[in-house]
Amino acid sequence: MDKDSIFTINTDVTYGRGYVYCLQYHIVWCTKYRKKVIVGNIESDVKEHLYRTAEDLDIKILAMETMPDHIHMLIECKPQCRISDAIKVFKGNTARWLFLTHPEIKTKLWGGHL
């Protein structure tokens, strides 16, 4: 591999009224105590739920990978989107939805925290 193929700059920018932007964030979060709960059909359910949540927030998920104990997401959003609020919604909604739809997780994670 040569240097040019490794260090390429993404020139896909979005034009707004009076501004140009390309905001991408790499977000990683873990389950409590790094318990391996994102496995099997839970993994696909979590991915679908995160895509729906991103659509509601007007955020584009460019890449997502789930591991048994953590989630990686590369997202792109508008400058008006506060990233701290978006992360709060992603984590909070996913945890609540997961405990409601998959109550068997409560046996691994006591206290109701993901």
- Cα 109 from Cα 63, distance rounded (Å): 27
pLDDT single digits (tens) 51-107: 999 999 999 999 999 999 999 999 999 999 999 999 999 999 999 999 999 988 888
Is 113 part of any domain?
Answer: no
| Res 111 pLDDT > 90 | no
| Res 4 pLDDT > 70 | no
Asked if 68 and 34 count as a contact pair (C-beta separation under 8 A), the reply is no
- Cα 111 from Cα 114, distance rounded (Å): 9
Is 93 part of any domain?
Answer: yes
C-alpha radius of gyration, the chain, whole number: 17
Is residue 6 very low, low, confident or very high in pLDDT (cuts 50, 70, 90)? very low
Residue 57's CATH number: 3.30.70.1290
Asked if 98 and 114 count as a contact pair (C-beta separation under 8 A), the reply is yes
Is 112 part of any domain?
Answer: no
Asked if 59 and 75 count as a contact pair (C-beta separation under 8 A), the reply is yes
| Structural domain total, the chain | 1
- Cα 45 from Cα 26, distance rounded (Å): 21
Is 50 part of any domain?
Answer: yes
Is 114 part of any domain?
Answer: no
Is 11 part of any domain?
Answer: yes
Q: What is the extent of the structural domain holding 68?
A: 3-107
In this structure, how many other beta carbons lie within 10 angstroms of the beta carbon of residue 90?
22
- The pLDDT, as a whole number, for residue 107 is 81
Q: Tell me the whole-structure pTM to 2 decimals.
A: 0.82
